[in-house]
Amino acid sequence: MPTRLSNLFLRTLREDPAEAEVASHKLLLRAGYIRRAAPGVYTWLPLGLLVKAKIEKVVREEMANAGAQEVFFPALLPREPFEATNRWTEYGDNLFRLQDRKKADYLLAPTHEEMFTLLVKDLYSSYKDLPVCLYQIQNKYRDEARPRAGLLRGREFVMKDAYSFDLTDEGLAKAYQAQRDAYERIFTRLGVEYVIVKADAGAMGGSASEEFLSPSEIGEDTFVRSPGGYAANVEAVKTVAPAEVAIEGQPAATAVATPGATTIQALVDQANTNFAKPAGSWTGAHTLKTMVLALTSPEGKRELVAVAIPGDREVDTKRAEAAFGPNEVEPANESDFAKHPGLVKGYVGPVSLVNGVATQHLGKDSATGIRFLVDPRVVNGSNWITGANAEDQHIINVVAGRDFVADGFADIAEVRAGDPAPDGSGPLELARGIEIGHVFQLGRKYAEALDLRVLDENGKLQVVTMGSYGIGVTRMIAVLAEANHDEKGLIWPEAVSPVDVYIVAAGKDDSVFEAAEKLAAEFEAAGKTVMLDDRPKVSPGVKFGDAELIGVPNIVIVGKGLEQGEVDLWNRSTGERRSVAVNLAVSELK
RNA sequence: CGGGAUGUAGCGCAAUUUGGUAGCGCACCUGUUUUGGGUACAGGGGGUUGCAGGUUCAAAUCCUGUCAUCCCGACCA
């Protein structure tokens, strides 16, 4: 039976809802796919469910192809397993928590690593049982501080999450590749543009992690790509170090007066006025600014670290957090400075001049004892203007490797368009993207925490190694709507369209409705799913408008052409409209 | 959590400045009309103006408090 507009639970809206800002959100509401139930929580209407089911179908088929088996966990979980991995605490405010009548703690699952791990532990205990890969398509709950843009970032959302279990690292690599391949097939079939970027493994300690991003203006993630095909999350970009420079022959470090130059701009201005100029003029890139950061470990221990980066760049918060994780990173505050009199705010630098001789000021073996890290661009022989650790003073000709030695590198400066790609594939371009998938070699972290071990061939217990693989199913709907619409409405790719064919009965004669009904039956006999606008007493203009809004790409108009035995085929994606004989309509749309 | 804005009918908005008991468009219902691009006309239903308190003869409007939502930022395995 076709889906009939005359009784479909649907009300399309003529105006954009005030609550929606981005196109996908506006159109999904206006066309009657979803309704907002609470911030970041949506009700699925019949049309929305059809699209969701289409996406899930593709995901299930490709998971089966990749050898993964479907299971289904509760969304409501007890606290206990999350204690074992410490995530009851670590997840913080993002976790929806609740209690039962006995005041026992429960949560709405934000993710299911623990449950999958425990399930395998529950049932399997031998290497012969491995490898195994399980997945589910489930609602996830995260109490996001700020839900956004409808389905793009919700507090309840549907995710396909898969987990692989292997005895060996090679096995994990293979499972990872199988999922990665499946993801490529899924996104290709769904007709969604994507790039695979290297992601930062960070605090999770995994060995490999890649994100699937769909390029989009409204994306929340910034990534970089090069003409040669390099792509990465900004957190994962490794700065290319320039070649080392000869130290011999460089002038000695010299103090210069820089009254009031507490910012790089002021310093550069003074340098250009008062100092002998290098080739060209002084720029921020000639200066080295030393940022003092406070790291707080998960145990609450606070440590100061000084990081020197070229003066023309800012610290990228995300890169800093990735580099210093699991510590929290923030700029040192007044009381931090107060505790370290050696740090002169605005004039911090790696060296001080003691009787005219450059003496290391920062670093574990120095007077201050503060750990000192430098940007990878600070190679041996590079020459900088730095703070002199004294009010209104800087030092010029401070040479790395001669005047100071860093304790290590910290690659936390911002990445800019035009920076070289780490693999030499050309200048980087910055772009925005929406994360639609993430594949991750978790390793043994969860298996160790939850004691998932199996007996190997020698009868010895071995910790299992895991991978986790996620696809945002409902987010995908937003991504597809965002990428496939015009000013009139949605234009779904065929793979996710709520139905295959949308038939409009445009006319008032019974013959029009009868012909439309007959055509709908013929399409269904040919294996197509059909939506039929059989609303009586609704003008053609309204029907055409709704057809465009709803966005089924293949539209058949039954109306005034009927007298000549013709119907119109209308392709929403190309805009093409042409008349064909009624009896050829089905075969024309094959 | 910081900054900004907004809460009036199912949706989009007006009336708030200057207090006088709520209005327009869409949607919905009835009738006539129209039928290949959101027809036209007539009639109709629907609102404790987010909530609580206060001022006043009188509060959507003024005052206090509170809740909620949206946007920007922070945050986001």
* Span A360-401, pLDDT tens digits: 877 777 777 788 888 888 888 888 888 888 778 888 888 878
Identify which of A506, A571, A490, A590 has the alpha carbon closest to the alpha carbon of residue A540. A506
Rounded distance in angstroms from the CA atom of residue A478 to the C1' atom of nucleotide B1: 28
How long is the CA A45 to C1' B14 vector, in angstroms? 32
Q: Is the CB of A557 under 7 A from strand B?
A: yes
Sign of CA dihedral A439, A444, A449, A450: positive
Going by C-alpha positions, the residue among A149, A151, A183, A190 that lies closest to residue A53 is A190
Query: Is there contact between A159 and strand B, defined as CB under 7 Å from any strand atom?
Result: yes
Q: What is the pLDDT of residues A161-195, one digit of tens each?
A: 999 999 999 999 999 999 999 999 999 999 998 98
The highest-confidence range among A45-49, A80-84, A301-305, A398-402, by mean pLDDT, is A45-49
What does the pLDDT read at residue A159? 94
Average pLDDT over residues A77-93: 83
CA distance A362 to A378: 15
pLDDT classification of A204: cutoffs 50, 70, 90: very low
Question: What sign has the CA pseudo-torsion A257, A262, A264, A269?
Answer: negative
Q: Give CA–CA dist A426/A418, Å, rounded.
A: 8
Strand B at less than 7 A from CB of A144: yes
- How far from A434 is each of A154, A339, A390, A493, CA to CA, in Å? 13, 43, 46, 18
Kindly state the helix (H) or strand (E) to which residue A463 belongs, with its residue range.
strand A461-463
**Does A7 contact strand B, using a CB cutoff of 7 Å?**
no
* Separation between the CA of A93 and the C1’ of B54 (whole angstroms): 37
Strand B at less than 7 A from CB of A145: yes
Residues 172-201 of A with CB under 7 A from strand B: none
Mean pLDDT of all residues in A84-104: 83
Is there a cis peptide before residue A131, judged by omega within 30 degrees of 0? Answer: yes
**C1'-nearest nucleotide to the CA of A36:** B69
A487: left (phi over 0), alpha (psi -120 to 50) or beta: alpha
A343-352, A439-448, A549-558: which has the highest mean pLDDT? A549-558
Q: Is the peptide bond before A298 cis (omega within 30 degrees of 0)?
A: no
Is A206's CB less than 7 Å from nucleic acid strand B?
Answer: no
CA A588 distance to own-chain centroid: 41
Q: Which residue has the tokens 């003092």?
A: A292
A578 touches strand B (CB under 7 A): no
- Position A472 pLDDT exceeds 60: yes
Task: Tell me the average pLDDT across A551-562.
Answer: 92
For A224-254, b/e burial (b = at least 16 CB within 10 A) is bbbeeebbbbbbbbebeeeeeeeeeebeebe
CA distance A427 to A240: 11
State pLDDT tens for residues A490-541: 999 999 999 999 999 998 888 899 999 999 999 999 999 999 999 988 999 9
A539 touches strand B (CB under 7 A): yes
The pLDDT assigned to A278 comes to: 66
Residue A437, CB, strand B, below 7 Å: no
Separation in Å: B68 C1' and A378 CA? 52
Q: Which nucleotides in chain B have some atom under 7 angstroms from a protein Cβ?
A: 1, 11-13, 25-27, 33-39, 68-77
A438, closest nucleotide (Cα–C1'): B77
Spatial distance from the CA of A133 to the C1' of B70 (Å): 42
Q: H-helix or E-strand containing A7? A: none
Instruction: Say what the pLDDT of residue A55 is.
Output: 95
Q: How far is the CA of A469 from the C1' of B27 (A)?
A: 44
- Residue A530 (CA) to nucleotide B28 (C1'), in angstroms, measures 28
Whether A40 sits with its Cβ under 7 A from any strand B atom: the answer reads yes
Whether the CB of A507 is less than 7 Å away from nucleic strand B comes out as: yes
Residues sharing a CB contact under 8 Å with residue A449, sequence separation 6 or more, in sequence order: A84, A85, A86
Closest-approach nucleotide to residue A203, Cα vs C1': B77
A279-325 residue pLDDT tens:
677 777 788 888 888 877 767 777 788 888 888 888 887 787 777 77
Q: How many CB atoms lie within 10 A of CB A397?
A: 17
**A305: exposed, middle or buried (C-beta count within 10 Å: 0-12, 13-18, 19+)?**
buried
CB atoms closer than 10 angstroms to residue A425: 15
Q: Give the CA-to-C1' distance from A18 to B68 in angstroms.
A: 15
Strand B proximal residues, A:331-390, Cβ < 7 Å: none
CA A288, chain centre distance (Å): 32
Question: Does the CB of A149 fall within 7 Å of any strand B atom?
Answer: yes
Quote the CA–CA distance of A275 and A267 in Å, as a whole number. Answer: 11
Whether any strand B atom is under 7 angstroms from the Cβ of A204: the reply reads yes
List helix spans (H) across A330-373.
Answer: 334-339
Nucleotide nearest to A472 (CA to C1'): B77
Strand partners, A580: A567
Query: Which residues from the 79-138 window of protein chain A have CB within 7 angstroms of nucleic acid chain B?
Result: 94, 110-111
- Which sign does the torsion angle of CA A28, A30, A35, A38 carry? positive
Alpha-carbon distance values, A588 to A66, A517, A554, A570, A582 (Å): 35, 18, 11, 11, 10
> Does the nearest atom of strand B lie within 7 Å of A561's Cβ?
yes
**Residue A445 approaches strand B within 7 Å at CB:** no
Residue A38 (CA) to nucleotide B67 (C1'), in angstroms, measures 15
Cβ of residue A220 near strand B, that is under 7 Å?
yes
Q: Could you tell me what percent of chain A has a pLDDT over 70?
A: 97
Of A257, A326, A272, A251, nearest in space to A295 by CA: A326
User: Nucleotide B27: nearest residue by CA–C1'?
Assistant: A13
The whole-model pTM stands at 0.81
